[in-house]
Amino acid sequence: MIRDLVATSSLTTNELLGQLEARGLPRLGETELFLICDETGIAKLDEVTGRWCDPAGSDQAVADRAGNDGKRMARRDRSSDTSAAFRRELRDLRDRFVRVGAVPENSAVPIAPGWKQVADAARTALRSERAAAVGKSMWQNIELVDGAILEETPTRRIARYEIQGSENVREGTTATLLPPEGTSKQHNGAVDVEVLTQYGSEITMAMPVEQQFWERARLRCDLSYLVTEQANRFHELLAGPTTGFDTAAAMQPVSMDGVLDRVPSIDPYPIAGLNDRQRLAIAHGLCPRLTWLWGPPGTGKTTTLAVLLAQLLDMGKTVLLAAPTNAAIDVALGALIRYRRQWVSGELVRIGPTDNDFLARRNPAVLLDEIAAEQGAEPARRLVEVRQELKQLRDRHRAIPDKDPSRTHERTALTSKIGDLEGFGKGLVALLGEVRDQVIAEGRLIACTAHQVVLKESVRRKSFDVVVIDEASMMTAAMTMLVAGAGVGHTIVAGDFRQLPPIVQADDVGAREWLGQSAFEKSGVARAVGRGSPPANLVALDTQHRMRQSIGDAIGAAFYPEVGLVTASSVRDRPARTIAHDEPELVLVDTSDLSAPLARRDGMSSRYNVMHAQLAANIVAARLGVARQPASVGLISPFAPQAKLLQSLAPDNDPRTIASTVHRFQGGETDVVLYDAVESGGGNLRMHRWFTDTHAGSEGARLLNVAMSRAREQVILVADMGRIHRGRPISSTPVRTFLQHVGRHALPWDWREVASEVGPTTIESDLTALTDDLAAATERIEIFSETVDGPATRRVLEILDNAPEEVRIGFWFGPQGIGSVVERALRNHHTTLHPLRRCRESFVVTDSVLWSAQSSILGRAPGLLLRTGHCPLAQAVRRQSLRRNVHGVPGTGQAPERCGCGTLRMREERSGGKRAGVYSVCPLCRD
């Protein structure tokens, strides 16, 4: 192929490699290409042009080959000797560290009746989901900042970043990390990473240790990757019987076959330290059949699973522990290790890197890479040595000038050494892979995410006696099948189907059935519980050990009436960790008469409320900042943009304060939860379905349940209760029941009192201090005001007109401002004008100060004014408000265009119809 390609035209290295790949060859490296061409003489690299060409027609090339045959043969002999030595060393290492038969081959399991129809339906749903992901843009590009290395091993690095936007990334996703825009080509590159966790806007990932690290970076994710891998797995399973997969076991948790009407009478398992329901759950879980474990918040599901897993191991069973997220796996495995303190190396195997210090510091080791490093210590040491030597050789190779003919032989010799070492290094990597497969094959308990069960061949080859699926309510029915099929029918499905369900993008019936539901819904368990006839093989835990009495009573009455949730005596007896011992357990900050404006992010349904964030700043500073004991705090909102604002209120480097969306906080808990509902009557926006669709099983009910049940000591609810009451149905629903309980038992905090607390936010009577803040700005000013006809406008324009050139100024206004005093005064000024069809925001942001108003802040009647001197919050609001990611449209940060009539074109959002989207429109010509 190479000879044919260079015979017609000369090609650069990248062009030649691309042509070879297009013809079906695996991607070669530049060194491999050079070795092939150098050893065979079929192509020559012109040192002047840097292009590969046909050497046959070159007299000099022919002479060079004829005159250097002896040298080439000598090099070839030396290379052969070196390669042979490396092969002998690899063979010796493999004989010593890979045990024959350690990875057994399982026999194929017969296909169960009905499997093909079920698997085909799941595969079709996954293909619909992939099409939906591709339709919305197959690739997700995320800006990352504040990168830090958490841990480094000889082969793996774990890093943490802050997400600039409000994007969510599925844990387990394989993505590409890219350097920031503008990075010089010599430092450019791409790194394959695995996303471990995302908690709020904090994301952790694993990457190769030898790759360059950037503090700022871009993460490029294929939104369809994990979905595609699941669809491919179903395709394989439909092709015929496969080893290590039991189709009958796979179908059991997603069909009525797994909902049993009766089971033999079972006594609670005799073990101390657990309540009756927990001991009953263990007794059920030890039976070789399907068991459902329903664990409402704080009822000790994790503790129950830890004891159950320990009993299964003591019985000699091999166990797969799977969950949808790395965090869930780490919590469950950590609980097992605390309970069962004795184990031997290789007995417990956690697949995938973790940022959990408790698991990473175990002795004996539990992380797969650490166990493999112990069992293959010598190959791992050799790999480190090879990589160090390769780096030295490459540095020497780069140091030789390309156009120095006197050093051509030296450069060629180095290239040969590099090629030999690269081949040896790849062999060592493959050998360590065999050692890892051996560790998995010999492990008694394998703990990994559900995606690893699908992706990792060594897990797929292993057949387990028992499969335990934790947090199964967050896992799709399709994925549950793929995990359960790794066993033989002894399956424990644990979770809480009253908490948040899996997230699905496709909207067809099949996708909603297989991807929008967990196994609890798909099998009919949830419906059976709702009808008052729970399955005989379901155990519901009923004693919660987390929430104070008032919080637990509200959660139990609203969301778990079938369970009869009670609060353990240990909760009543434990020391208080809230602000003070006499503080209420339920607090309501009702903002009904504040009429705070709402703003939308990117013109979509996600929204944020600046005034609520300003009140939260005072609650954090004045209330939570004087805790009698160090209390952990969760700042939670259903909307990602608001969660970003709340995150800015968390003190730097304080792990006790966590800000997150409700979806990301599921599974967590803190002493105090501040829940910002965001919705407001002053927004002129349609209420989100989370507050209108509130029946049992709805996403609105599940979301409120998750948010409120994260608190151990105190819940602070910030909400426009008038707005929420108007949006929900009159009939009784879980949300209505919960809010009624809050209305009866919560202590009301007047928002005016909150704004008067000692903190960064104050109520202002006029805009006098605003002009002082604007005059003091040295870097940025952003003004958002629908109208600009108020008494303070002229003074504000004077300040802007006199602002230094280095102060970047953005002025956002509605159509009434076009042609007004604002445009006339600032038309030729360095202020960037942003005319909008509708400016919903009403605030001003300077370097470190945030102002907001009930109505247009520079209008005739701005209404109540709040001022917050909090730099992180001010900058978070500025970043959030500028996220209008539609290129070429006013409102993107670009200078506005003018129509042919001379009028500024403005941003217009159309929410429906064939021309839905965001456009640049002239308000006069409508063009």
Identify the band that residue 602 occupies on the pLDDT scale cut at 50, 70 and 90. Answer: low
∠778-888-135 over CA atoms, to 5°?
120
Side chain identity, residue 87: R
The span from the CA of 390 to the CA of 73, in Å, is 24
Q: Can you give the pLDDT at residue 63?
A: 43
Quote the percentage of the chain above a pLDDT of 90.
39
DSSP states of 282-305 as a string?
Answer: HHHHTSSSEEEEE--TTS-HHHHH
The DSSP element (H or E) to which 251 belongs, if any, is helix 247-251
Whether the pLDDT of residue 405 is over 70: the answer is yes
Of 93 and 908, more confident: 93
Side chain identity, residue 238: L
Estimate to the nearest angstrom the gap between the alpha carbon of 76 and the chain centroid. 50
Compute the 3-state secondary structure of the chain and give helix, strand, coil in percent, each to the nearest 5.
40, 20, 40
Whether the pLDDT of residue 884 is over 60: the answer is no
- 762 close to 617: Cβ distance less than 8 angstroms: no
Q: Can you give the pLDDT at residue 889?
A: 42
The span from the CA of 452 to the CA of 237, in Å, is 17
In sequence order, what are the residues at sequence separation of 6 or more whose Cβ sits closer than 8 angstroms to the Cβ of residue 104?
441
The span from the CA of 610 to the CA of 602, in Å, is 16
Q: Highest mean pLDDT: which of 241-250, 504-513, 640-649, 763-772?
A: 763-772
Q: How many residues does the chain have?
A: 927
- 866 close to 611: Cβ distance less than 8 angstroms: yes
Q: Can you give the pLDDT at residue 507?
A: 85
Q: How far is CA 400 from CA 50, 403, 518, in A?
A: 15, 9, 61
Whether the pLDDT of residue 744 is over 60: the answer is yes
Which three-class secondary structure string do you get for 16-57? HHHHHHHCCCCCCCHHHHHHHHHHHCCCEECCCCCEEECCCC
Which three-class secondary structure string do you get for 307-330? HHHHHHHHCCCCEEEEECCHHHHH
Of 630 and 704, more confident: 704
Q: What's the mean pLDDT in 340-354? A: 88
Estimate the crossing angle of helix 734-745 against helix 549-559, to 10 degrees: 150
Q: Can you give the pLDDT at residue 146?
A: 83
Q: Can you give the pLDDT at residue 165?
A: 62
Q: What is the tally of helices (H) and strands (E) in the chain?
A: 35, 35
Q: Other C-beta atoms within 10 Å of 124: how many? A: 16
**Listed range (19-28, 661-670, 723-732, 842-851) with the worst mean pLDDT:** 723-732
Going by C-alpha positions, the residue among 349, 352, 341, 351 that lies closest to residue 366 is: 349
Of 687 and 296, more confident: 296
- Which tens digit of pLDDT belongs to each residue from 79-122? 456 677 888 888 888 888 888 666 666 677 888 999 999 999 99
Q: What's the mean pLDDT in 53-64? A: 55
Q: What is the DSSP letter of 729?
A: -
- Tokens standing for residue 491: 């399956």
Whether the pLDDT of residue 64 is over 50: the answer is no
Q: What's the mean pLDDT in 765-793? A: 91
Q: 740-744: long-range contacts at Cβ-Cβ below 8 A with a sequence spacing of 24 or more?
A: 741/553, 741/554, 741/557, 741/558, 742/554, 742/586, 742/588, 742/717, 743/588
Q: How far is CA 475 from CA 336, 451, 484, in A?
A: 22, 10, 12
Identify the band that residue 22 occupies on the pLDDT scale cut at 50, 70 and 90. Answer: confident
Q: Can you give the pLDDT at residue 379?
A: 85
- 247 close to 485: Cβ distance less than 8 angstroms: yes
Q: What are the beta bridge partners of residue 432? A: none
Q: What are the beta bridge partners of residue 539? A: 293
Q: Are strands 843-845 and 780-785 parallel, antiparallel or unpaired?
A: antiparallel
Q: Are strands 566-567 and 586-590 parallel, antiparallel or unpaired?
A: unpaired
**Cα separation of the two ends of the chain:** 55
Q: What's the mean pLDDT in 415-427? A: 82
Of 838 and 898, more confident: 838
Going by C-alpha positions, the residue among 249, 231, 240 that lies closest to residue 519 is: 249
- Tokens standing for residue 614: 């300003």
DSSP E strand boundaries for 370-483: 445-449, 466-469
The DSSP element (H or E) to which 915 belongs, if any, is none
Of 840 and 608, more confident: 608
Preceding amide of 364 cis, omega within 30: yes
Identify the band that residue 321 occupies on the pLDDT scale cut at 50, 70 and 90. Answer: very high
Please tell me the number of Cα atoms within 13 Å of 888 on its side-chain side: 5
- Which tens digit of pLDDT belongs to each residue from 448-501? 999 999 988 889 989 899 999 999 999 999 999 999 999 999 999 999 999 988
Phi, psi of 898 (to 5 degrees): -120, 145
CB burial class (10 A; 0-12, 13-18, 19+) of residue 257?
Answer: middle
Side chain identity, residue 539: V
- Tokens standing for residue 395: 């540095």
Identify the band that residue 72 occupies on the pLDDT scale cut at 50, 70 and 90. Answer: very low
**Listed range (557-571, 755-769, 800-814) with the worst mean pLDDT:** 800-814
Identify the band that residue 277 occupies on the pLDDT scale cut at 50, 70 and 90. Answer: very high
- 132 close to 516: Cβ distance less than 8 angstroms: no
